[in-house]
Structure 1
Amino acid sequence: MAHRLRPVGLDFVEAAPVRLVFVREAAAAPDMIFRALAEDLTGWSEWFPGVASVRPSGDGRAVRLRGGVRFEESVIAAEAPDLYAYRVDATNMPGAGAWVEEWRLSPAGTGTRVQMTFALDGAAPFRLMWAVARPGVGRSFREAVGKLDRRLARAHRS
């Protein structure tokens, strides 16, 4: 890993200088989505674009993206079926200073409202990159939730 990031907590989600918030509804129930996020780590690469692998590592997760970016993460909240959040502890992405990703799940009719927040801080070029990347990250999130929803529907039928 290139460098360690500042160890921030869940409160950083509201205080971060850069916050990207995305929402999409899914047909699957909150508990099914929560289990996919928190328990089926190896499944992430099947439904989240850009993710090459996620595997358990110590008390957290080791994530590798397509293209070579790597993260060491700590789970900072796992409150089934409503909240799953993790902090990036180390990465090879230049300029990152602090990073939390939070997934909030709430009932929406018979399905789930999925809200993901990227809370970020770092050097000015890093912050600017995320501002420019916002539309693409949003598309990636919406695509991921759609793929996850279809994957869970197939598993539920089996």
Structure 2
Amino acid sequence: MLRRLRHEGLDFVETAPVRLVFAREISAPPDAVFHALAEDVPGWAEWFSPVTQAEPVQDTRPGRRIRLRGGIRFQETVLAADKPEVYAYCVDATNAPGPRALVEEWRLAPAGTGTRVQWTFAADGSAPFRMVLKAARPGLGRAFRDAVNALDRRLAKH
């Protein structure tokens, strides 16, 4: 059963009680990276290993349904799809224990012939959730690094 979370806007990326920020440069150009993030939603399962299924949805606003390994599910609303600089979404509902609000922002910037990809994971939740999330920072950093490297390899093939 999914629980509703508090809806937050893009400003939450700067004000959240827990902010985890990761960045990496890859060789793919910003337009290609943006397309993979915002327009090829099912493709996330091919390059972001925790994601087992991703599908776009169109209710009153564009959104996504995401399934992660271990059975975690998210229903999200897209907050920004400003090609090619920003893709962000708010988690509306999840079965994960502890969160009260989640917003993720992917910020893209040209870096030579490639792209600097920055992912901000902004969250609020119960004290145990915040503590676990902070402790999970190294693992989330590895997941981000592995994901953008896999995305870069995938985009080089196309």
- TM bucket normalised to smaller: over 0.9
Normalised to the residue count of structure 2, the TM-score between the two structures is: 0.97
SS in 1 for 2:115: strand
Query: Residue 117 of structure 1 corresponds to which residue in structure 2?
Result: 120
Q: Deviations over 1:81-133 (max 9, x none)?
A: 00000000000011110000000000001100000000000000110110110
Q: Which runs of 5+ in 1 are unaligned?
A: none
1: CA distance between counterparts of 2:57 and 2:73? 13
Distance 2:99 2:2 in 1: 10
1:89 pairs with 2:101: no
> What SS does the corresponding residue of 2:100 show, helix, strand or coil?
strand
Deviations 1:9-62 (A, max 9, x none): 000000000000000101000010000000111110010021001001232000
Q: Secondary structure at the match of 1:49?
A: coil
Partner residue in 2 for 1:44: 44
Instruction: Give the SS at the match of 1:67.
Output: coil
Instruction: Tell me the equivalent position of 2:54.
Output: 54
Query: CA–CA distance in 1 between the matches of 2:68 and 2:152?
Result: 21
Instruction: Give the structure 1 partner of residue 131 of structure 2.
Output: 128
Structure-2 separation of matches of 1:95 and 1:2: 12
Please give the secondary structure, in 1, of the residue aligned with 2:10.
Answer: coil
Task: Give the Cα separation in 2 of the matches to 1:87 and 1:136.
Answer: 21
Q: Which residue of 2 aligns with 1:98?
A: 101
The one-letter code sitting in structure 2 at the alignment partner of 1:113 is R
Amino-acid identity (%): 65
Question: Would you identify which runs of 4 or more consecutive aligned residues in structure 1 move more than 3 Å?
Answer: none
Which blocks of at least 5 consecutive residues in structure 2 are unaligned? none
One-letter code aligned to 1:151? R
Q: What's the Cα RMSD here?
A: 0.6
